Amino acid sequence: MKYLILIAIIALSSCALPTRVAVDPQGEFATIKVEPSNSEMKLLSKRDPASIERVTKNPGAYNPAVLYALSDALFRSGRKDDAAYWYYLGQLRARSDANKALDFSARQAVGVLNQKYGSQINRYTFKDTARLRLTVSKVILSDQSIPRDYDARWIALHGMDAFDSDKVDFAPRIQWKTINDTTRRQYEKDFNSAMRYLQK
């Protein structure tokens, strides 16, 4: 049986804490393809060399959460520059998919992934902003050239609709390329703004 992990946000006083709730997807949610991404996530958590090779050779076959997990596996293996590249590519693609989700609660999955995988990467990359600029430039180009052969609706499984609805509220496929392009431009703009702020 296929399960999804719903990352629900529960407000407690002034803070919001993520919790994981396993539910059985219904209706359209049951048609969202999460394999082979889920299997590779488990292997990457163990730094499986074969999994690292598969994902790096064919990254377009896996949803962005796998790229985050790949970055962690590489970082813990000492390949920190490679890890940074895959982390930021995963982040950019996750944002693109979040922008397609019309259930806005699903978009918080990006923040959860950033929180889980980002601290060590950011501490490392911000020590050398010149190298970071080169990495992000490479990420922007890669995002345009690497195909997206995974199911972009993966992120919908992390929203509240997945818990109480059988219909995936998602932007029509015909809009996806435009959303990808717009998100990429905004990502680059936000990054450049952050770099300018750091230089002051």
pLDDT in tens, 115-169: 999 999 999 999 999 999 999 999 999 999 999 999 999 999 999 999 989 999 9
**What value does the mean pLDDT take over residues 13-30?**
61
Residue 52 in any domain: the answer is yes
The whole-angstrom separation of Cα 37 and Cα 61 is 8
Residue 18 in any domain: the answer is no
Q: Which domain, by its residues, includes 191?
A: 36-150+172-199
Rounded alpha-carbon distances, angstroms, from residue 40 to 48, 73, 89, 142:
9, 11, 17, 21
* pTM score, whole prediction: 0.89
Q: Tokens 């997807």 sit at which residue?
A: 25
* Beta-carbon contacts of residue 62 (< 8 Å; ≥ 6 apart): 36, 37, 40, 55, 150
DSSP structural state of residue 100: T
Residue 120 in any domain: the answer is yes
How many domains does the chain fold into?
A: 1
The whole-angstrom separation of Cα 118 and Cα 110 is 11
Residue 131 in any domain: the answer is yes
Summarised one tens digit per residue, pLDDT across range 51-86 is 999 999 999 999 999 999 999 999 999 999 999 999
Six-digit token string for 178: 């435009």
Write down the pLDDT at residue 12. Answer: 27
Residue 156 in any domain: the answer is no
Q: Which helix (H) or strand (E) holds 81?
A: helix 80-98
Write down the pLDDT at residue 198. Answer: 78
Residue 86 in any domain: the answer is yes
Buried b / exposed e over 130-147, threshold 16 CB at 10 Å, is eebeebbeebbebbeeee
The secondary structure of 106-168, three-state, reads HHHHHHHHHHHHHHHHHHHHCCCHHHHHHHHHHHHHHHHHCCCCCCHHHHHHHCCHHHHCCCC
Residue 166 in any domain: the answer is no
Q: Tokens 């052969």 sit at which residue?
A: 149
Task: Measure the CA angle with vertex 187, ends 115 and 91; round to 5°.
Answer: 35
Percent share of the chain, pLDDT over 90: 82
Residue 9: pLDDT over 50 = no
Strand partners, 12: 15
